[in-house]
Structure 1
Amino acid sequence: MKKCFFYLFILYSTIAFCQDKIYYLEGTLGKSTIFMTIQVYKSDKETNLTAVYFYKNSLKDIKLEAKLKDNNYTFYFKPGDVVTEKFYLKKSGNNFEGFWYDAKEKQLAVHLEPVNFENYTSNIKIRFDDERLNLVKYKFLEFKKQKTTLYNNKEIVWYSEKHCDSDFFRLGADFSEKNKTVINPILEQIHIQNTLNQLNCSSNFEYSNGQGIESTATINFLNTNLLGFEIFASYYCGGAHPDFGGSGYLIDLNNGKQYEIDDILAFDKSVTGDKENNFDAFSKYRTDYFAPKLLAVINSQEHFEKPKNVDDEPCDYTNEEYWNFPSWSYTEKGIEFTPTFYRAARACEESFLVPFEKLKKYKNPKFPYSL
């Protein structure tokens, strides 16, 4: 995992170094309002472009192949090696002017100018600069109440979003006003980010239908102080292979604090959850203490056996490396852990429930509640 973070750091550092210009644009394609991001990368030998645009009425990304010659920009969408639409644009100052054509050579005028982000301010967190148009998408999101359910006799209200498949929940009428005031903005933030991920999920091979990420949220724990749930998603947004994974959440109903697994369990006094500011210490704790001790606890009930031939039987649950960064879910009966395998062996990722009784002696002293 540490190596993966290192590669990502190198990747984004390289992009930032080579990147010459990013244009965030808004304007019209015929009578439709569109938004576009154009990124220009220059090296000693060549200039490369990437471009993505979306319509205001759909918000779904369309990824374009791109070429630049002199000051003329050509963008086209070519699923199945058939060009279904293309742009011919010329840059004039900060604006782009030109025409769009469909597969039948229907022509529409295009005018684009820099986005005035003062019109799209918000308090949502944008993770990378090249997602700044998420601010635009956020303004046009429309959430609608879909249904209500009960969990532990408490009302849960589920919402959907107009432009894509993105369902998530909020606390309902049975919760105190304080709980709803503290927690529902956090749940809304998660829903917004999931929705933006869905709208951004696109490829060069086909038009997005807003269903590239199949996501399921499951509430697994609820008492007077804590809300636990898991989001499991399988997704394909272009690239070589589909992928999947789960994320566990445990939120304090009283103050909104979101607990990570290292906030809950401490297998050594060197425990740290500070992977952003001190990744070396975080990684060392996970490798030296977390993984071996968690595996020992799980193996005491599962009795794993090392495969005789790992090449033929890749599901080696005795390998501590796969337990360094497991996904987890806080449930009514205990904590479920799922080891993280390499991509080719992702089918090995099975969940194992560890009852609270077996974890009590490892409770982090700073975690304010009993297991």
Structure 2
Amino acid sequence: MPVSLSVLRITCLTALMAPFTLHAENAVHVLTGTLGKSPIVVELDLTSAEDVTGRYFYEKYHKDLPLSGTSKGNDLTLTEGLSYDDEAKLPKLVLHKNPDASWTGDWSSKGKSYKVQLAEHAITAPDASAEPGWQDIYKQSAYDYLRLTHLTLKADKKATFMGHTLQWWAEPESGVSMFEITSGYSPEQAARINQQLRSRLWQEVVSYNQCMLNASRNGGDFAQTVTPHLLTPGIVSLSVFTDYDCGGAHPDFGDSPLNLDASTGKALTLEDVVWVGKGAPFHYERDEEGGTSFDTYSDYRGKAFAPWLVDQLKAAHPADMQAPATEDDCDYTDPSVWEFPSWYFTEKGIAFGPSFARVMRACESPEWSVLPYSVIKAHPGGTKLTLPE
């Protein structure tokens, strides 16, 4: 699974299909129906006849089961397993596409066989009353959206942080949790902020399921710790730290904080907060249309921001920013590790987390790498913010 934790990547999928054509240009299909008497939801990528991939879940259990196989004409032969699984004992799914665009076939395993009936219907987009974030997830993957409609959040613990009451909510199957703020902001502010927090919770549920799918051969792990760092009239800032094993060569971990403008509820980019480039600050978001290009964003981070941040950290933390004694030591003087740092607000300043190669991952998240607000305020970003003194 591509889990580079700028939040575990969500694959963009479409559910368009030309009638009676298995290999349409947009060849990801979302089907609903039954396996035996059990309702299921199926996603199939039919781009390649030699390498059909997919997944499905029982509506009762919600867990992804991987599919891989081949197609020939209007017939599919699939194995319930990942593409590199060669075990002959794995369940088989044989499907045929009928003239009315429905699919019928059989699922078989260990001498048992069940009829399968599927159809591809238009999936209604979530309306304004839907859970926050479901609209975006629907656009990314109708399959993931359908799973969310079968999940229920449960109220968890209550806590107080910086004078604000926090009500935690958990999705029991994934273990993913997030808080909402129930006091300390106006009802309008709280509604905007909590919408972002709830949206992030659902995105993490999607990431959990993607991780478990890729780790389905040997089992995986996905454990998160959400930590509020700053709640002020101007800022909401928290960390979402994830330890995960999604079937790769090694387990991994990383922090993907969420920083919000409390007055508007909008998510902040680093350039919204601090700017050391020429001209007006830009607001870069991945996959945005008509905005700043990644090349422009990357060029600014590498040539302007990272060298500046190294100089500021050397001034603020000279002992910690000394050049390493050996190649095995953490080299915090290397600007490249600060080009795309994690970051969040604290009472004393902004905490930056460098990004190292996996073999040096222990060098990440140092406790000392906080830049005082006096430095940040001298280089304001594109959003007018009320920062702590």
Scaled by the length of structure 1, what TM-score is found? 0.84
> Which residue type is aligned with residue 51 of structure 1?
G
> What is aligned with 2:240?
231
- Residue 120 of structure 1: CA displacement? 5.6
Question: What does residue range 106-255 of structure 1 map to in structure 2 within 5 Å?
Answer: 106-118=112-124, 124-126=134-136, 131-203=141-213, 206=216, 212-255=221-264
1:326, CA displacement in angstroms?
Answer: 0.6
The equivalences for 1:1-371 within 5 A come to: 21-42=27-48, 47-78=50-81, 82=87, 83-93=89-99, 94-102=101-109, 104-118=110-124, 124-126=134-136, 131-203=141-213, 206=216, 212-270=221-279, 271-275=281-285, 276=288, 277-278=291-292, 279-300=294-315, 301-303=317-319, 304-307=321-324, 310=327, 313=328, 315-351=330-366, 352-364=369-381, 366-371=383-388
Change (3 A) 1:327 1:316: same
Aligned residue type for 1:191: L
Q: Is the 8 A contact 1:26 1:112 kept in 2?
A: yes
What is the deviation of 1:127? Answer: 6.2
Aligned residue pairs total 352
Identity of aligned residues (%): 27
Structure 2: distance between partners of 1:365 and 1:67:
51
In 2: Cα distance, 1:84 partner to 1:299 partner: 57
Report how far residue 141 of structure 1 moved: 2.2
Task: Give the secondary structure class of the aligned counterpart of 1:213.
Answer: strand
Gaps of 5+ in 2: 5-10, 13-22
**Which range moves more in the overlay, 345-354 or 21-30?**
345-354
Deviation at residue 31 of structure 1 after TM alignment:
1.5
Alpha-carbon deviations, 1:114-162, whole Å to 9, x = none? Answer: 0330276667344696722122123222111011011012210001114
Q: Could you tell me which runs of 5 or more consecutive residues in structure 1 were left unpaired when the two chains were aligned.
A: 5-10
Separation of aligned partners in 2, 1:212 and 1:219: 23
Retained in 2: the 8 A contact 1:61–1:201?
Answer: no
CA contact (8 A) 2:27 2:47 kept: yes
Contact 1:272–1:285 under 8 Å retained in 2: no
Cα distance, 1:221 vs. partner?
0.3
Tell me what 2:8 maps to. Answer: none
Change in Cα spacing, 1:175 to 1:130, as seen in structure 2 (3 Å) is closer
Which stretches of structure 1, 4 residues or longer, exceed 6 Å deviation after superposition?
Answer: 127-130
Worse-matched range after superposition: 50-59 or 75-84: 75-84
Q: CA RMSD in A?
A: 3.0
Higher normalized helix content (fraction of residues): 1
Instruction: State how far apart, in whole Å, the 1-side matches of 2:340 and 2:267 are.
Output: 18
Higher strand share: 1
Q: Give the match's secondary structure for 2:209.
A: helix
